[in-house]
Amino acid sequence: LRKNVEDFTGPRERSDLGFVTFDITADILNEKNGLQTFWNKNTLMLFFIFDWNVKQLFLYLSAEYSTKNNALNQVVLWDKIMLRGDNPRLSLKDMKSKYFFFDDGNGLKGNRNITLTLSWNVVPNAGILPLVTGSGHVSVPFPDTYETTKSY
Amino acid sequence: QLYYQVLNFAMIVSSALMIWKGLIVVTGSESPIVVVLSGSMEPAFHRGDLLFLTNFHDDPIRAGEIVVFKVEGRDIPIVHRVIKVHEKGNGNIKFLTKGDNNEVDDRGLYKEGQNWLEKKDVVGRARGFLPYVGMVTIIMNDYPKFKYALLAVMGAYVLLKRES
């Protein structure tokens, strides 16, 4: 999971709105030897299994953090559906978040501890639907000041 | 002989009812098996797929989970994914959902003025699924004649079955 590149906050309708850009590199191999994750120079390499009972993987990047208002907040910033048979190599650079990163209140300003994790939902052809969180995460600190309107 | 057949039939019906009620208790969900009604979660789930749910009270609601919920005042269960969660220290949770195949989040589906869902709106969390099996329910709903025909056939079969 590549570290984010830029982030800044902008106030809108009394709630903090955060902007995060990020890179993701993931390798999905058609190997039947289990799930492996390992670090490679700050890049998290992910090896998924696409076996006969895996119809698709629903990947999503979520930001988790605490604020004064709420003990736990989770916001999905980006997601992707990966079908069995798709190109197994995933390399996205400088992605903007797909969804607006609104906080419920003003908890993003000065928040030093926002954790981005990549998780995925395995959708089988039939059977159990597991939700797996990738090990390893990236911490993103937000600055103490708001940015005046910048084009997104 | 007729008495025996009626008793047999009653036993089948009551065992089915017991199994269903038992499932409700074990999973904690008021409706542990639901049929997917729309294509808003494609390509993961299609209309007619069957979902198995649990709704344990202590299970926290987390981003990425697939939940089945009912909007206040409406009877139709909706199967979508949780994309935002805000939980207070006292356990109070509010969350936002969106269908994988939809462009926008579900705020348009919620009640007038409602921006978030709460635990009480949740019927259950999807834990397992079987494709196509629920199609029977959809066909019976869309074509009520088929439902009556099926009931008639089942009734006739039970009444006419003879012990050899």
Q: For position A118, what pLDDT does the model report?
A: 72
**Catalytic annotation present for B46:** no
CA angle centred on B29, ends B51 and A123, rounded to 5°:
25
Q: Which residues in chain A have their CB less than 8 angstroms from residue B128's CB?
A: 127-129
Residue in B83, B86, B128 nearest the CB of A73: B86
Q: Kindly report, residue by residue over A3-13, the tens digit of the pLDDT.
A: 333 344 333 33
Architecture of the domain defined by A1-31+51-151: Sandwich (2.60)
Question: What CATH class is the domain B1-130?
Answer: mainly beta
Q: Is residue A61 within 8 Å of A77, Cβ to Cβ?
A: yes
Of the listed ranges A88-97, A128-137, B28-37, the least confidently predicted one is A88-97
Q: For position B18, what pLDDT does the model report?
A: 93
Instruction: Check residue B120 and report its DSSP letter.
Output: G
Q: Which residues in chain A have their CB less than 8 angstroms from residue B65's CB?
A: 131
Q: Which helix (H) or strand (E) holds A37?
A: strand A36-40
Best CA proximity match to B120, nearest among B67, B65, B83: B67
Residue B152 to residue B158: CA distance in whole angstroms = 10
**Catalytic annotation present for B86:** no
Q: Which residues in chain A have their CB less than 8 angstroms from residue B97's CB?
A: none
**pLDDT reading at A150 higher than 60:** no
**pLDDT reading at A138 higher than 60:** yes
Q: Kindly report, residue by residue over B70-107, the tens digit of the pLDDT.
A: 888 888 889 999 988 888 888 888 899 998 888 888 88
Residue in B43, B85, B130 nearest the CB of A74: B85
Q: For position B12, what pLDDT does the model report?
A: 86
**pLDDT reading at B134 higher than 90:** no
Give the contacts of A23 (CB within 8 A, at least 6 positions apart). A2, A3, A4, A5, A92, A93, A94, A95
pLDDT over 70, % of chain A? 35
* Domain parsing of chain A, residue ranges: 1-31+51-151
pLDDT over 90, % of chain B? 8
Pick the most confident of A139-148, B13-22, B152-161: B13-22
Q: Which residues in chain B have their CB less than 8 angstroms from residue A126's CB?
A: 129-131
For chain A, the average pLDDT equals 60
- Kindly identify which residue of chain A lies nearest to residue B61, measuring between CA atoms: A74
Answer whether A71 sits within 8 Å of B100, measured CB to CB: no
What type of residue sits at position B136?
A: V
Mean pLDDT calculated for residue range B49-73: 87
Residue B129 to residue B94: CA distance in whole angstroms = 26
**Catalytic annotation present for B57:** no
Q: Looking at B106, B121, B142, B164, which residue is catalytic?
A: B106
* Domain parsing of chain B, residue ranges: 1-130, 133-163
> What burial class does residue A120 get, using C-beta atoms within 10 Å of its C-beta: 0-12 exposed, 13-18 middle, 19+ buried?
buried
Q: For position B29, what pLDDT does the model report?
A: 85
Q: How far is CA A61 from CA A58, B84, B155, in A?
A: 10, 12, 53
Chain B residues within 8 Å of chain A (Cβ atoms): 43-45, 62-66, 81, 83-89, 94, 100, 105, 126-131
Rounded to a whole number of angstroms, the distance between the first and last alpha carbons of chain B is: 11
Phi-psi category of B27—alpha, beta or left, where left has phi over 0 and alpha has psi -120 to 50?
alpha
Phi first, then psi: what are they for A60, rounded to 5°?
A: -150, 145
Q: Is residue B63 within 8 Å of A75, Cβ to Cβ?
A: yes
Q: Is residue B61 within 8 Å of B95, Cβ to Cβ?
A: yes
pLDDT over 90, % of chain A? 0
